[in-house]
Amino acid sequence: MLMNSKFLSSAAFLTAKPFASNFRHAGSSQITLAAVRLSVFASCSSWSSSSLSRNSSLPPLKSVDTSLAVLEMDRDRLSLLRDAAAEFPPPPGKKFSYGTAGFRTDGSLLHSTVFRTGVLAALRSLKTEKVIGLVITASHNQEADNGIKVADPDGGMLTMDWEVYADIIANAGDANLFVKAVEEIVKKEDIQFGSASGKVLLARDTRRSGPSLVEAARKGIEAVSGVSAEGKGVLTTPQLHWMVRATNKGSVGSESEYFDTLSSAFRSLLDLGPSGVSERGPLIVDCSNGVGAEKVTCLQRSLEGLNDMEIRNTGRNGEILNYLVGADFVQKEKVLPQNFDAVRDEGKRCVSIDGDADRLVYFYTGQSVTELTPVLHLLDGDKIMALFAAFIADQLRSIVNVTGSAVKQESFAPVIPGYGAVKFGVVQTAYANGASTRYLQQNLGLEVVLTPTGVKHLHEKAAAYDIGIYFEANGHGTVLFRDSFVHWLKKNGDTLPAVEGKLAAKRLEAVSELVNQAVGDALSGILMVELILRYQGWSIQQWDTIYTDLPSRQLKVKVLDRSVITTTAAETRVKSIPQLQEAIDNEVEKYEAGRAFVRPSGTEDVVRVYAEAATQELADNLAREVGLLVHQLAGGV
């Protein structure tokens, strides 16, 4: 019998929808398809061909050969997918590449890619037998752009193996080639249909192209039988990732649960903190004219006055998303966003988030020795990570001290009886300021690991620790806790022999709830920063003094072919042209606190140069000299 052999052919995915969900719709075509699916997956012989033909325009099943009838039906279902894909033809001559940010381009060119990514997400849900997420956003890009990215069952980014599939189906050409590519994925992944259903959570940011792209994604998801799309409306990207993770862990995974979790953890941490410490005036939040404005308002409401926030750049009066505002603008340009004034806001604690609220950078304006008017002081992802790392290290030291264990100064690795060595590390890229790395290593005694550029590399490495922190300078990052360590804290925290140890264990447990465990999240990051500043009794200016950034300079060198340069050691060393790396090393030695590296761009034929040194003039000179070396030895044009 067919059901006892390998379950249908790779084309059978279009006939796999569980029948119960199909009767939610009143349309006769839905009921007809439900009847067809019942006949195949419930019992191949229990429904007669005549009973099907009464409600269906599909060819009736032949009684002489069931297997041939099923194959014929598969072709019909494939035809439906082909027709659905034909509604969204790919733009001619456009090539798409799925990277850390997913697919991203002008929103008017994305409908085909979004539809196809919807199909991919549906297949991923069936493969994993878990809920998957899709979010329509282009983050910090200009308003006209949009994008789509997939959230895997753990709430993290799409696994790299499936990024290849995303590229294949996005660039497959016409509908026939697309269907053929889908069949190949189904075969290779051995995706089984009919035994389980799938679900994809679907959300978007505030861009004007969002609603039509959501509809294209929904059609793609629901073109794969057995999979439903659950619309979540307008969300931040981290909210969607959080919901996917929570849902797969058995929670409701609603937006209200998200805010309840953050506010409850924040409230608990305040209760567990030192007494008599309050915030130093309101936090001024630049919301980048994006989705963050509504969500920060909701967060503030859920906190019930526990943290005062003044919200600016909401976009509610038609202001342009990400234009002269937001975390990316402030971090890269090092200037104030619109609707901030250096004099009026002097000394105030400010934070910018980006268009989809997955990045944050703090800043303030203050006097400078060389400037007559207040200047911007930026506290980027490096400084946020340093703040988080110091706080968590303090809590671990409290637990270690009360259990009588020792901490090695050269490598912070506490050993807790009943758990063992707690692996605590921080993860950066080569673009992290050297002063931050030295602070983490020398002042805190922490293990610092470098990875290639890209959040997926940072996240993967941080997840290998019991507590792992990663941040990029742009403000994207989070703190990851191993489940087994959180379980130990919950089970054993109250058994520690001293009050301070008990408090520290409870604090870490609450931090694991406060900080988004799926991806970087500006909202939870803001609460974490605000909490630690209260614990320390610090102003933003005091936080800024924990270390001083080394001046740096970045530039690009045009080359004939960027692929001639390959790198190693987390992109800090040139591998393919030894004489170039030797020349860079010789140049760096001439500069006080000098450091420099080069790496090929991922999108254009340029080589990116990064240099830092003791003064801005020295950093500029070092970058220029290294750029000349690249031009001379790597085919500059």
Annotated binding residue 190:
no
Domain ranges of the chain: 2-86, 103-251, 260-379, 391-518, 552-633
**Domain boundaries 260-379, corresponding CATH code:** 3.40.120
Annotated binding residue 152:
no
Residue-wise pLDDT for 63-105, tens only, equals: 333 334 334 436 766 788 999 999 999 999 999 999 888 999 9
Other Cβ atoms less than 10 A from the Cβ of 242: the count is 29
Q: Establish whether 49 is a catalytic residue.
A: no
In angstroms, the CA 223 to CA 135 distance is 18
Grade residue 6 by pLDDT with cuts at 50, 70 and 90: very low
pLDDT for 404: 52
Grade residue 219 by pLDDT with cuts at 50, 70 and 90: very high
**Helix intervals (H) in 17-93:** 19-22, 28-37, 49-53, 66-86
Residue-wise pLDDT for 17-39, tens only, equals: 332 333 233 333 332 333 333 22
Q: Catalytic one among 125, 139, 288, 398?
A: 139
**Helix intervals (H) in 440-482:** 455-462
Residue-wise pLDDT for 92-142, tens only, equals: 999 999 988 899 999 999 999 999 999 999 999 999 999 999 999 999 999
Residue 601 buriedness (CB in 10 A; 0-12 / 13-18 / 19+): middle
**Domain boundaries 103-251, corresponding CATH code:** 3.40.120.10
Residue-wise pLDDT for 353-398, tens only, equals: 999 999 999 999 998 766 677 899 999 999 999 999 999 999 999 9
552-633: in CATH 3.30.310.50: yes
- Asked if domains 103-251 and 260-379 share a fold, the reply is yes
In angstroms, the CA 449 to CA 64 distance is 65
Other Cβ atoms less than 10 A from the Cβ of 449: the count is 17
Annotated binding residue 341:
no
pLDDT for 39: 29
Residue-wise pLDDT for 39-73, tens only, equals: 222 222 222 222 223 233 333 333 333 334 334 43
In angstroms, the CA 244 to CA 242 distance is 5
Please report, rounded to a whole number, the percentage of residues in the chain having pLDDT higher than 90: 77
pLDDT for 194: 64
Please report, rounded to a whole number, the percentage of residues in the chain having pLDDT higher than 70: 85
pLDDT for 500: 92
The DSSP bridge pattern shows strands 467-471 and 424-429 to be parallel
Residue 478 buriedness (CB in 10 A; 0-12 / 13-18 / 19+): buried
Mean pLDDT across 514-520: 98
Annotated binding residue 356:
yes
| Proportion of the chain in helix, strand, coil states, percent, rounded to 5 | 45, 15, 40
Annotated binding residue 60:
no
406 pLDDT above the threshold of 50: no
Annotated binding residue 505:
no
Grade residue 277 by pLDDT with cuts at 50, 70 and 90: confident
pLDDT for 27: 36
421 pLDDT above the threshold of 60: yes
Calculate Rg over the CA atoms of the chain.
Answer: 27
Largest pairwise CA distance in the chain? 92
Nearest to 38 by CA among 225, 182, 229: 225
Q: Which residue has the higher pLDDT, 409 or 205?
A: 205
Residue-wise pLDDT for 583-619, tens only, equals: 999 999 999 999 999 999 877 889 999 999 999 999 9
Grade residue 280 by pLDDT with cuts at 50, 70 and 90: confident
Grade residue 220 by pLDDT with cuts at 50, 70 and 90: very high
In angstroms, the CA 8 to CA 569 distance is 47
Annotated binding residue 474:
yes
pLDDT for 11: 42
Annotated binding residue 611:
no
pLDDT for 411: 58
Amino acid type, 623: A
In angstroms, the CA 471 to CA 425 distance is 12
Nearest to 422 by CA among 489, 496, 333: 489
Q: Could you give the angle at the alpha carbon of 516 between the alpha carbons of 403 and 327, nearest 5°? A: 120
* Residue 375 neighbours by CB under 8 Å, 6+ apart: 342, 365, 366, 367, 368
Mean pLDDT across 222-235: 95
3-state secondary structure of 370: coil
Annotated binding residue 452:
no
pLDDT for 99: 85
